């Protein structure tokens, strides 16, 4: 399946969650088995030779492709969640997003120093959520961190928020 066809499958919703935001709904990529499989295949091909030991998914859409990719790569899955959702001791990071502030957390024992981590989320807009996730993961001192998105909105320049030594890739871009 072509990347153009995957892009065409994404639903666009104006003025969501607030007026002035054009929301790209990637959940439409998940509802069709062929599209879901094509997306899983693309992600697997991007990371199959990187030695990934843990895939970290960001709540909530990172919880869809993250575990699928972890299974394909033979890696574990670690959730990053909103406050109050993880039962053990956590680190937390606050950040700004396009339309407000938020906080995310990770378990303090989620990763080890020898882990090669792929942090996955659905969309790169301004980069605030993923930058906060990277900061959380770095506190656990893994050996290497990769960053991945299903979709990058290039006009928002979110990729510029990452350090130059961080490998950031997206399956699709608009």
Question: φ, ψ for residue 163 (rounded to 5)?
Answer: -65, 150
152 assigned to active site: no
Give residue for tokens 């935001």: 21
How many residues in the chain?
A: 174
Q: Which residues contact 66 (CB under 8 A, 6 or more apart)?
A: 55, 56, 57, 77, 79, 120
Q: Which residues pair with 116 in a beta bridge?
A: 144
81 assigned to active site: no
Let me know: does 116 contact 51? Beta carbons within 8 Å: yes
Out of 42, 59, 92, 98, pick the active-site residue: 98
Q: Which residues contact 74 (CB under 8 A, 6 or more apart)?
A: none
Out of 4, 5, 61, 89, pick the active-site residue: 61
Contacts of residues 87-94 at CB distance under 8 Å and 24 or more positions apart, as own/partner, are 91/136, 91/139, 91/140, 92/136, 93/132, 93/133, 93/135, 93/136, 94/132
Q: Which residues are catalytic?
A: 61, 98
């Amino acid at each position: 399946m072509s990347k153009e066809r995957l892009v065409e499958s994404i639903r666009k919703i104006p003025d969501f969650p607030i007026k002035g935001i054009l929301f790209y709904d990637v959940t439409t990529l998940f509802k069709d088995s062929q599209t879901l499989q094509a997306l899983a295949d693309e992600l697997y091909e991007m990371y199959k030779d990187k030695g990934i030991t843990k895939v970290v998914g960001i709540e909530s859409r990172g919880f869809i492709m993250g575990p699928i990719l972890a299974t394909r790569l033979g890696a574990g899955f670690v959730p990053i969640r909103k406050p109050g959702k993880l039962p053990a001791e956590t680190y937390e990071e606050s950040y700004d997003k396009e339309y407000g502030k938020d906080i995310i957390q990770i378990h303090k024992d989620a990763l080890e120093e020898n882990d090669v981590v792929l942090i996955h989320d659905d969309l790169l807009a301004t980069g605030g959520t993923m930058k906060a996730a990277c900061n959380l993961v770095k506190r656990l001192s893994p050996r290497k961190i990769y960053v991945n998105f299903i979709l990058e909105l290039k006009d928002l320049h979110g990729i510029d928020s990452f350090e130059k030594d961080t490998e950031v890739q997206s399956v699709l871009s608009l």
